[in-house]
Amino acid sequence: MSRRTTEQNLHSNNQNESSESSEKDNVAILQSPSALPLAYNDNNSRITEDIDLIPQSLWYQPDPQESLPQHLNIHNSIIRYYNDKPDTKHNDLLSSYPALENSPIEAVRATVSKNDDRTLECLTFRFWVLSFLFTVFGAAFTQYYYFTTIPYQFSVVFVQLASYPLGKLMARFLPQRKIRFGSWFEFSMNPGPFNMKEHALIGVAASTATISPYAINLLSMQRLYVAQGFKHVGSILLLISSQCLGYGLAGMAYPILVEIPEMVWPASLVNVAFYNTLHEHKNNFIRALSRMQFFWIVFGVIFLWELVPQFIAPILMSFTVLCYFGHKNPDLIRLGSGVKGLGLLTVTFDWTEVIQFTPLSSPWWAQSNVYFGGAVFLWMVMPIVYYANLWSAKTFTITSVELHDNQGNFYNISRIIKANETTIDTAQYDAYSPIRMSPFMALSYACGFISITATITHVCLWHGKDIIGKFQSAILDILTRDDRITRFDPTAMSDVSSAPFSTFEQDPRKLERDACIHVNMMRAYPKVPIKWYTLIFCLSLIMACAFTVLEPTALPMWGLFAALVMALIGILPVGVIQAMTNYQIGLNIISEMIAGYIFPGEQVANVTFKVFSYWGMAQCLTMLQQFKLGQYMKIPPRKMFIVQIYGTLLTLTVTYIVMNWMIDSHFEEITQNKNGFSSMIPRITQSVSIIWGAAGPQRIFGYDSLYFPLVWCWLIGFLLPIPFWLIHRRWPNSRFPWKFVNVPLIFLGAHITVQFRKNYLLVALVVGFCTQFSLYRYRHDWWRKYNYVGNAALESGVQICLFVVFIFTNAFFTNIHFPEWFGNNPLNHEQCG
């Protein structure tokens, strides 16, 4: 069709749909070359000059909840116009892969915008200033309260909220002039309005300070309880290598855990909804609440409500129904207490107890597996075990997590390990008592064993074929790609339909993997080169090797490599589960047990092995989750990589300085738990290292041990997912959804009960069912618009309320207390027993 014919047909069909003034406005917009990105047709020829053929009536109409620059509307109009051309092969392509026009995942479609403004700057002067301030403050804050009786965790939600008005103020008052350093570098202190991308990167940098590096547990344990601590050089080498080795491994898993659309990373969707809400700029002309209005209403309500259980009536933290039938009855206390017992029929009105299970963001099928496992373990298995007196269960408190001797008393560690030593005195151990655990603690370990090995089998059975295919495609990409450009035109910002059809025809595996608009849109940005990952990994490995040589860890070089192999093996199976469900299955238990077998009697070697294996995998998954957030927010991957490394190194520096200052200044208070200081976390690290390192799994789970049968749980975990997979293969259309039976999550739900109070199950179950099942199925439009925004509002409101309560009751104004009454008994909040 000729240009003139096309013009006549378009204008004749739409003569009455556009006014003369609007056409003049359109021409004015289109005449700005900087405002209009390039577009390509199916023959890969530029079609920018044809934009004046498209009348306003055919322009792409954005979602009413989205606010995007005018030139992006025009760009989408070009794509839509040319998609309507009679190209059978192209139309068949789009009909076969509808996700090319959006994401195949409903939660992503409901939360993530399909538009991107590539002109927005990310690493601005505002970013460097605000990220530095919040990261330094967060790292110092977290490490200071690491040594207190209340280890308050610095929240990235606080950073996200606080940085928004500060960024706006800087955008308004900072001068816009450019600062030059010679002829090779210049920057602007105020490049324009404070945008969503730089806001997200501030949160990414500050998120590295929300939790102390795992190596701090080892370093503080050495300083507090071992006569000879590590030197400064060795400590710094340990911190940097343990934090960054996982980042070097992230490149191998990136194509699978980030680019595959099914790898959703639900926690990232909450952050996306939060940033979208804060940066939403539009007038609301309809009666329904806008996302912004809904956010602030929920934020205000939950902020005010949290003051009740946190300050006014702590009894609402754990409301025990059974105890009101007999609060002195020991059996009702064992069964009903959420603090001292199994939490049967116990509810909580404190959102902090529920939010850690992410009931508004995790898929319902994942939540139901976790809650099912926890409920069966707490309310069926444990009562039977206790009242049957298995392993002398009645000798212990029903939910005890302490170590005991054979008389049921707390185990006296000082009788088998001398002060400032790390090895066990075998003669003293044999003369004193073997280590005993309560059945609750022992069975939680068993569930952890099953969960870890079942993860490998589950992922291999359900996702193995896809992972292998996509891994092969990723290897092909790595071998053939140019990091500077991509196979798709970098200016194509909207969808895959703007790329040459031959690209997909020649490589259908690439099309299947990239059947998501967000994956394709990120091809407009250069990927992180493989050499960047390799450099980070090699430098970190050299530092780790130097640490094991310079310091007396008793961990040989081959032990370090064994830890890295374990981390590498765990990345994909654990990452797939976490990316799809929001739940991470840690390698800490298996790391401790393997290190205990290969380094018997070596306490420090056990902890060091766990630092590099478990934390190496965890850091890799952290990097990949941030990359997924960057994909949703359309942040260039290289800038995301730089920010993650920058935030990590800054956090390590501040954390190490504060740790040494705290120990040097408050050594006695910390070790003796005086004046509000505590050594709880280092002491737990030491206790665990004694169980798995000094005493060793041979003594606890050996052939002659009381707990030897639990070792078979490793094999049971490997085999247990197979029957459910076979049943689904045999009856794929069964009314019972066998494909949603997730053995790793079921036993994870049982295992993590040891870490929390037992009052969360009923409320988390109800909230998850109402939001992720009922609203999703029967009020889908409401769920699509408000669910993730509401989640972000609940999290931020709770965190800010906790921060305010903490400041006014524990930090600066310690004399402020609510008057005592029935609902805030300081000795027994639950009033059960």
- Residues 396-421: tens digit of each pLDDT: 999 988 888 888 888 888 888 876 66
Average pLDDT over residues 47-63: 38
Binning pLDDT at 50, 70 and 90, where does residue 812 land? low
Flag whether pLDDT at 465 surpasses 90. Answer: no
For the chain, percent of residues with pLDDT exceeding 70 = 80
Flag whether pLDDT at 93 surpasses 70. Answer: no
Flag whether pLDDT at 635 surpasses 90. Answer: yes
pLDDT digits (tens, 9 = 90+) for 685-738: 887 888 888 888 988 898 888 999 999 999 999 999 999 999 999 999 888 989
pLDDT of residue 504: 37
Give me the half-sphere count of Cα atoms (radius 13 Å) on the Cβ side of residue 825: 11
For residue 289, the 8-state DSSP code is P
The DSSP string of 191-231 is -SS--HHHHHHHHHHHHTTSS--THHHHHHHHHHHBSS---
pLDDT of residue 680: 83
Element spanning 336, H or E: helix 330-336
Query: Which tokens is 770 given?
Result: 């109402």
Query: Do 693 and 428 meet the contact criterion of CB atoms below 8 Å apart?
Result: no
Binning pLDDT at 50, 70 and 90, where does residue 56 land? very low
Of the ranges 509-513, 584-588, 647-651, 815-819, the best mean pLDDT one = 647-651
Query: Do 501 and 88 meet the contact criterion of CB atoms below 8 Å apart?
Result: no
Residue ranges of domains in the chain: 3-92
pLDDT of residue 30: 33
Query: Do 179 and 125 meet the contact criterion of CB atoms below 8 Å apart?
Result: no
- Written as one letter, the residue type at 124 is T
Average pLDDT over residues 491-503: 36
